[in-house]
Amino acid sequence: MAATARLVEIIGDIIRSWRFPRRVMRKHLAAGLREDRALICLFTACLLIFVSQFPALMRASEPESFEARVVGPLFAWLFVAPLFMYILAALSHLLARLVGGQGSWFGARLALFWSMLAAAPLWLASGFVIEFAGATFLTNIVAALALGMFVVIWMSSLIEAESGATQSAV
């Protein structure tokens, strides 16, 4: 029962992030240093983005070669992307420091990882559009919307995390 309540809360936070990203990031930062939650956000987002690629992978392959086409993106999204995201979060924190940011390393990580998770439903929608419409102009619009929403949520979350309201050494 508690897991279901937590899932409903996370879904609500994702939806609220589309309108009030700073408010949602403030709430997550106020929960304290929870590296486990940050990691769950990162891996769930990577998994959802990987799943969103299934329709394109299925369209591009014969039924016999689908498994072969899935291995590369699976490795990329579940092993390489998380490492890259840690590096990107560190670079964003260093850049924020250069312009006066006062947040923590953890805040920068959480801002990036949460933003990926908050934008993941739009990546899934992009996969659905590919499934039903193929590679069309509409697909490009939905993908651009997903990328744009990710960037907006990330920048807003990073600004909140670097505002210095919640200090931490990690």
10 in any annotated domain: yes
Q: Can you give the pLDDT at residue 170?
A: 42
167 in any annotated domain: no
Instruction: List, run by run, the mean pLDDT of 10-residue segments along the chain (170 residues).
Output: 86 96 96 92 96 82 75 92 97 96 95 97 89 80 93 97 65
- Rounded to whole angstroms, how far apart are CA atoms 88 and 48? 19
> To which residue do tokens 């589309």 refer?
18
CA geometry: angle 26, 81, 123, nearest 5 deg: 70
Cβ atoms of 17 and 114 closer than 8 Å: yes
Q: Can you give the pLDDT at residue 137?
A: 84
168 in any annotated domain: no
> To which residue do tokens 């990926």 refer?
116
64 in any annotated domain: yes
Q: Can you give the pLDDT at residue 63?
A: 67
170 in any annotated domain: no
* DSSP helix/strand/coil, 101: coil
142 in any annotated domain: yes
Using CA atoms, how far residue 88 sits from 9, 46, 135, 154, in Å, is 27, 15, 29, 12
Number of domains in the chain: 1
Using CA atoms, how far residue 148 sits from 16, 35, 44, in Å, is 16, 26, 20
Q: Can you give the pLDDT at residue 166?
A: 54
- Rounded to whole angstroms, how far apart are CA atoms 97 and 110? 16
169 in any annotated domain: no
Query: Containing domain of residue 103, as a range?
Result: 2-161
87 in any annotated domain: yes
